[in-house]
Amino acid sequence: MTSPDVKATERFKAGGTLHRDAPSYVTRLADDELFDCVLKGEYCYILTPRQMGKSSLMIRTAERLRQRGFQAAIIDLSGLGTQATGEQWYLGIVKCLALDLRLAVEPEQWWRDRGGITPAQRFDIFLQDVVLAEITNPIVVFVDEIDSTLKLTFADDFFAAIRHTYNLRAREPAYDRLTFVLLGVVAPTDLIKDRTRTPFNIGHAIDLQEFSRADVGPLETEIERLYPGQGRRILDHIFGWTNGHPYLTQKLCQEIAGAPARAWTDAEIDRLVETLFLGDEAQQEDNIQFVNNYVEASPERRQLVQLYRRIYAGKAVKEDERSPAQNRLKLTGLVRARGGALKLRNEIYHQVFNTTWIKRNTPTNVLQIVTWAAVAVIMLAIGAALLFAYRQQQEQIALLKEKYLHDIETGEVSAQMYHLGQLCGVAQAEAQGVFFDQTDPHQQQQLFATATLTTTSSVQLAVVLDCLAPVIERRIPKGDDRAQLSSAMCGALHRLGDEYGDEHLEHMCAAER
């Protein structure tokens, strides 16, 4: 078996920009798409997650274009800083252009000589009076890391200036020779809100996807050279984990290339994946940390995590390119669009950013907590009020029962009828219970036998009769006691007037009428 040499690990590069001649560079459809679009003078933009190979594609394309007679400049906006003033920032861009395009101008002096106008205006003039005036060949300007402008208050003017160079093509033919390519991890709507000034609605979007299995011939060739007879199987198993994600794929190839010579079984590759990406220490791994940081720093964190939860659970989420939440979630790298729907990007992400991660990154909804707390307080208050009312009612029932029983002992008929009537109004079941269960038949009959207009009002009698009459047959077995009580009730009803008689008493009093 061939032992891997020291330089083998240099043939793979995980992170950073690949050299234009790097043997591990993987050519994708986006390479020819970007190259052809720039040849035709189309403005282009590549907005994808980190470590998908944007900068490497830029370097390789710039070199191909130079070979076709283009002058190419590369501006890394992250190198200009986010604390610079507008003057300093635009001057930094002008200096980059002067250096890369080898312009015969001293940029700082030129900049100072035109100090009476805004930095954005000076940038426009520099493109026209210096860049296009000195260079007669086609020119392409790659502007990398455009997401670094998010915190700049003057970034809108910069992108509007780029849009202006495109608009000038209609009346200034020289501008046909100037093309811009914008690259970064950002959604167009985050950079500039005014659609009449943005360059993103006149540019060509380049879709930079993962490596396809057919793309990675250079990687397989190198693995096969190091481990004869294993190259195809090793790459197939790596793809099962990475789905062609450029950084993850290169990282695993790099680790395998630098390992002591041995037969790489699927189980060994799985253990390598576990070590690099899935263990606790892997949370500090560059790519994993980027996704974590991006999500945690997002002002729309809750919305992103909720959307990701649906996709993770396998629910159908139709792609909507106009959705800011979907666009930002795609920029994390967690999901990708396939067949008009959003899908998880690869198995490594599936295992790292799992349900535990989803729960940990679902921020506390303060408004919801406050709302539920308010509801809980209201419910407690209602409960307390109901409990207080219930206790008051129970106390009232107990007091009326006590008074009624006391009235029986004293023989106060009018008081008995009054308190029993009140108890009937508060709690019929309690009134029926105390009348039928706590008094004897004689006391029951006596209440109605002695009721007269001088001791009892017709209204009180009606309330008591309406409460007790419906349950006589159930409460008192058929016999003399029930007959005598019915007779006493009917007698009281006749003495006090039968205008309050009702259907409950009709059959009881029929014989008396």
Q: Residue 493's pLDDT is what? A: 80
**CATH of residue 87:** 3.40.50.300
Distance CA 140, CA 30 (A): 17
pLDDT at 455 over 80: no
Q: Give the mean model confidence (pLDDT) for residues 244-251.
A: 95
Domain end residue (candidates: 363, 397, 424) = 363
Q: Which of 87-101, 128-142, 187-201 has the lowest mean pLDDT?
A: 187-201
pLDDT tens-digit readout, 303-359: 999 999 999 999 999 999 889 899 999 999 999 999 899 999 999 999 999 999 999
Q: Residue 246's pLDDT is what? A: 94
Q: Work out the burial of residue 458: count CB atoms within 10 Å of its CB; fewer than 13 is exposed, 13-18 middle, 19 or more buried.
A: middle
Residues 222/11, Cβ–Cβ less than 8 Å = yes
Domain end residue (candidates: 205, 226, 260) = 205
Q: Residue 387's pLDDT is what? A: 87
Q: Is residue 138 in a domain?
A: yes
Q: Are residues 191 and 310 in the same domain?
A: no
Q: Residue 505's pLDDT is what? A: 58
Q: Are residues 194 and 220 in the same domain?
A: no
Q: Place 498 in a pLDDT band, splitting at 50, 70 and 90.
A: low
pTM above 0.85, yes or no: no
At 353, is the secondary structure helix, strand, or coil?
Answer: coil
Q: Are residues 399 and 465 in the same domain?
A: yes
pLDDT at 500 over 80: no
Q: Place 404 in a pLDDT band, splitting at 50, 70 and 90.
A: confident
Residue 107 belongs to domain spanning = 29-205
DSSP conformation class of 280: S
pLDDT at 9 over 60: no
State the total domains in the chain.
Answer: 4
Per the listing, tokens 């980027």 go with 290
Q: Are residues 255 and 290 in the same domain?
A: no
Q: Are residues 310 and 435 in the same domain?
A: no
Q: Place 141 in a pLDDT band, splitting at 50, 70 and 90.
A: very high
Q: Give the mean model confidence (pLDDT) for residues 415-441.
A: 87
Q: Are residues 184 and 87 in the same domain?
A: yes
Q: Are residues 358 and 412 in the same domain?
A: no
- Kindly state the percentage of the chain with pLDDT values over 90: 52
Which one has a higher pLDDT value, 64 or 297? 64
Distance CA 508, CA 465 (A): 11
pLDDT at 10 over 60: no
Own/partner pairs, 456-459, CB within 8 angstroms, 24+ separation: 456/413, 456/414, 456/417, 456/492, 456/496, 457/496, 458/496, 458/497, 458/499, 458/500, 459/500
Q: Is residue 194 in a domain?
A: yes
Q: Is residue 23 in a domain?
A: no
Q: Residue 204's pLDDT is what? A: 93
pLDDT tens-digit readout, 101-111: 999 999 999 99
- Using only C-alpha atoms, the chain has a radius of gyration, in whole angstroms, of 44
Distance CA 323, CA 329 (A): 10
Q: Residue 59's pLDDT is what? A: 94
Q: Residue 6's pLDDT is what? A: 40
Q: Where are the alpha helices (DSSP H) in 215-335?
A: 217-226, 231-242, 246-257, 266-273, 286-297, 301-312, 324-332
pLDDT tens-digit readout, 155-199: 889 999 999 999 999 999 999 999 999 999 988 878 776 666 777
Q: Residue 279's pLDDT is what? A: 85
pLDDT at 3 over 50: no
Nearest Cα to Cα of residue 501 among 451, 461, 468, 473: 461
At 65, is the secondary structure helix, strand, or coil?
Answer: helix
Own/partner pairs, 65-71, CB within 8 angstroms, 24+ separation: 65/35, 65/38, 65/39, 65/138, 65/140, 68/39, 69/137, 69/138, 70/38, 70/137, 70/138, 70/139, 70/140, 71/101, 71/135, 71/137, 71/138, 71/139, 71/140
Q: Residue 486's pLDDT is what? A: 86
Q: Is residue 242 in a domain?
A: yes
Which one has a higher pLDDT value, 265 or 155? 265
pLDDT at 1 over 50: no
Which one has a higher pLDDT value, 63 or 487? 63
Q: Are residues 84 and 118 in the same domain?
A: yes
pLDDT tens-digit readout, 282-292: 778 999 999 99
Q: Are residues 199 and 223 in the same domain?
A: no
Q: Is residue 46 in a domain?
A: yes
Q: Place 25 in a pLDDT band, splitting at 50, 70 and 90.
A: confident
Q: Is residue 22 in a domain?
A: no
Distance CA 82, CA 150 (A): 9
Q: Are residues 490 and 410 in the same domain?
A: yes
Domain end residue (candidates: 205, 225, 252) = 205
The 3-class SS string of 208-241 reads CCCCCCCCCHHHHHHHHHHCCCCHHHHHHHHHHH
pLDDT at 496 over 80: no
Q: Are residues 413 and 348 in the same domain?
A: no
Q: Are residues 196 and 51 in the same domain?
A: yes
Q: Give the mean model confidence (pLDDT) for residues 18-37.
A: 87
Q: Give the mean model confidence (pLDDT) for residues 404-425.
A: 85
Neighbours of 250 (CB within 10 A): 25
Q: Is residue 469 in a domain?
A: yes
